[in-house]
Chains A and B, each alone.
Chain A
Amino acid sequence: MRPTIAVFRRELRSALNTAPAYIFTALFLAVSAAWLFLVRGFFSRGEASLRPYFEVMPALLAVLVPALTLRSWAEEKRAGTYELLATLPFRPGDLVAGKFLAVLAVFGSALALSLAVPLSLARFGDFDPGVLATEYLGVLALASTFAALGQYVSARSRTSGGAFLATAALLLSLSASHRIPSLFRLPSLLSRTLVWVSPASHFESFARGVLDSRDLAYFSFLTAGALYLTVKSLVREAWR
């Protein structure tokens, strides 16, 4: 655990010293609030629901989370600091876990700040704290999965810019895949697969305040799988 904490602390230090974490937080708060109040017109709907606020999360995070993960590995390799990291007595798993947790910590702080939205709206409606907690858990699960996938893409990318574009493209297409069956006539097995694959469709039940173990399993499996592949890719690269 201690090596993971060492990597986590170093990552967090760099995150606090450089712009991307702050830009991420500002954009996350501004765009999600603008979506709720300006685009979906919270006050004109006459219904005190935060559903629209969470509705936008898959698309928003698909674009923003890559900004947090793009540097994870691609930048280390470009700058040569990966050689430092890889020759200290860490296991590859320590490195991957430390970096992943640091991204989650930055995201967690942004998410904590976003609590200002439901708190400030509490007097306009009766929000169920249980539902709200489920919704926030869903956002966290979604972000973890995206962060893990972003790590993997960054580990396979040569440049940070490439990592950003590839991650955003991957996350956006994954998140939109459940919409494809409504646009084209497809065999039902394919349609069901496309819906099942999409993180947005698994996030939907969280956004409704429903905690479904199958959705939790989906996010856990994807997160663990992407982190495992990242470790494998680092090990393979050393032996390439």
Chain B
Amino acid sequence: MIEVQDLRKSYGSFEAVRGVSFEAAPGGVVGILGPNGAGKTTILRILAGYHGPTSGRARVAGVDAAENPRELKRRVGYLPENAPLYPDLSAAEHLDFVADARGLRGAAKSSAVRTAAELAGAGEILDIPAERLSKGWRQRVGLAMALLGDPPVLILDEPTAGLDPNQIRQARTLIRDLGRERTVLLSTHILGEAEALCSEILILNRGLLAGRGSPEGIAETLAVQDRLEAVIRAPGERVLESALARLGSGSPEGFQAAEAPGAWRVRIVCPAGSSDRTAEAVSDWAAAEGFKLLELRRDRLSMEDIFARLTGEGEAGG
């Protein structure tokens, strides 16, 4: 349903997408996961026909984005990031406009508008101008516009950004439902969201695909390591350094002077799921070496760390 081959997009000298290939079969929710600036929006914009690729191919529902952008747009329902709307127009006027653009008229038009508004849960605010709608409602209006006319492919850029927890739950249920009959491609920078929603996850970092797989597979890849951070009072740097070689579990990544005088902050990585065992080992080791353990905590890997690790950039050290 979606085929992307060696897709590249540059803005001036900046390469936002640097050769990405993937395909998505009909049906199901595919998520592009990546930190801000990874190139997610650029890929979605090319697939929605907003930007032309610098090189490479993008095909959606059998239509090439560069060769026939208008036909492509007929087959894609697109929700841009932040759901931009005309402030002075109501939701009903927006849907009316999209229906006109999609060539619907008469009874087919009113039924398509009603269906889309109901599906997206925007039925009750149809007459309110967009400038008076909250972020959550605006997002629903945007989603209704994407759904209008029942396109076979939905492209949703950060569909749950800015929603409250309740709205996020509702939006996820809706997107999962939509993915049963259509192909949904969405972007997110939240790992949990991709896991909760998607049948397949593509991990994008700095314009390159850094990994892909099922949510379970990705979770495994991402959870290869846990990390501990200990603050230790030791008689000196040399002493600490040689003592670290005798640490029974986990491997020290390096240390640096901590705020407290005579104390060092030590980072220790260990295999996923073994952080409790390693924490015990660290505490025993400190006691055996005659050091004082001032602090010991599990340090969660940030999204940026995860992407850096996946792409082999800045392998956390020192």
A contact residues vs B (CB 8 Å cutoff): 2-3, 5-6, 9-10, 13-14, 17-18, 79-81, 83-84, 86-91, 238-240
Contacts and interface: CB of A to CB of B under 8 A. Distances in A.
B101 A88 contact: yes
B216 interface: no
A237 to B, nearest CB: 9
Interface in B82-141: 82, 84-89, 93, 97-98, 100-103
B49 interface: yes
Nearest to B49: A87
B273 to A, nearest CB: 44
A89 B80 CA distance: 15
A88 B31 CA distance: 23
A91 B70 CA distance: 7
B102 A89 contact: yes
Contacts, number: 71
Contacts of A80: 80, 82, 84
Interface residues of B, number: 29
Nearest to A91: B70
A9 B96 CA distance: 10
Contacts of A83: 45, 50, 80, 84
B102 A88 contact: yes
Given A13-B93, A84-B145, A240-B11, A89 B88 contact: no
Given A87-B48, A87-B80, A14 B89 contact: yes
A127 B173 CA distance: 71
A84 B80 contact: yes
Contacts of B50: 83, 86-87, 238
Contacts of B102: 88-89
Given A13-B93, A238-B51, A87 B76 contact: yes
B73 interface: yes
